[in-house]
Amino acid sequence: MKIKVYNLAGKETGEMELNDTVFGVKAKPEMVHQVFVQQTNNQREPWADTKNRGEVSGGGKKPWQQKGTGRARHGSIRSPIWKGGGVAFGPLTDRNYKTKINKKTRQAAIRMCLSDKAMSGNLLVVEDFKFADAKTKLFAAALKTMPTKMKKFLVLTGAKDDAVMRMTMNLKTVKTLRAQDSNVMDLLAKGVILTSKDGIKKLEEVFGK
C-alpha cells in the first residue's frame, strides 16, 4: 500500500510504501472494543467509599427492649435498614478495576486502528517535523495546510521530540506521542494521525513483529 508524503506547507512531495502487516489489517470491532475497555478500566480510580454497620459511630445500645413494646425487634440503630445506619455491600476504595489483556491482542488492535486510518485517508505523512522555530503558531499553521477537514490530530513522532511537544502543548485538539506509545484509546479519539517518515518506520518496527 502506498501513501502520499507532504511537506509542512501541505504540498505533495512523493509517495511512501506502507507495510501491509501494520497498515493492511482487516478490522475486528470486537477485539478493538475489548482493548479499549481494558484501557479505560485501567485508568479508572475507585473514589466511592461507604461504611458498614461496624464502622458507623454510635448504636452501641439496644434501641428498645426485645419484647413487650409491640414494635419490631432491633439490636442497633446502625443496622443497614435504619436511616443513618451502615451500608450493606456498598462500594469501597480498595476495589480494583484493572483488567489484563494479552500483549499480542493489544498490538493487533493497534494495527487494526492504524490500518483503518490508512485505508480511510486519515493517515497523513510529512517528510519531517523540522520547523524554523519551535513555536505553536507555526505548527498550527502547518495543520491548516494538511489535506483534511478533520480538526483533531494525533501527532506521532519517530522518537522523543521535545520541540514538537512544546509546540503542540497548548493546542487543545492535538495530542503528541512517540510512535511506539500508540494506543487504541488515542487512535480512536483523534480523527487524523499525523506522523513523519521516521514515525512510519518506528510504527512498522514496533508493531510489525
Question: Exposed, middle or buried, 77 (CB in 10 Å: 0-12/13-18/19+)?
Answer: middle
Give SS3 for 7. Answer: coil
E-state strands within the chain: 2-6, 12-17, 123-126, 153-157, 174-178, 192-196
Domain interval for residue 52? 47-96
Q: Is 65 found in the same domain as 38? A: no
Q: Is 168 found in the same domain as 154? A: yes
Write down the pLDDT at residue 66. Answer: 96
Q: Is 179 found in the same domain as 80? A: no
Predicted confidence (pLDDT) per residue in 12-26, tens digit: 999 999 999 999 999
Predicted confidence (pLDDT) per residue in 109-129, tens digit: 999 999 999 999 999 999 999
Q: Is 37 found in the same domain as 18? A: yes
Q: Is 126 found in the same domain as 63? A: no
CA dihedral 51, 56, 62, 63 (to 10 degrees): -90
**Number of domains present in the structure of the chain:** 2
Write down the pLDDT at residue 60. Answer: 87
Q: What is the CATH number of the domain that holds 175?
A: 3.40.1370.10
CA atoms of 177 and 165, how far apart (whole Å):
8
Write down the pLDDT at residue 56. Answer: 93
Predicted confidence (pLDDT) per residue in 153-167, tens digit: 999 999 999 999 999
Per cent of the chain over pLDDT 90 is 94
Q: Is 86 found in the same domain as 106? A: no
Q: Is 166 found in the same domain as 110? A: yes
Write down the pLDDT at residue 58. Answer: 86
Q: How confident is the model at residue 1 (pLDDT cuts 50, 70, 90)?
A: confident
Say if strands 2-6 and 12-17 run parallel, antiparallel, or are unpaired: antiparallel
- The answer to whether the pTM exceeds 0.85 is no
Mean pLDDT rounded to a whole number for the chain: 94
Predicted confidence (pLDDT) per residue in 68-88, tens digit: 999 999 999 999 999 999 999
Do residues 114 and 32 lie in contact, with contact meaning Cβ atoms separated by under 8 Å?
no
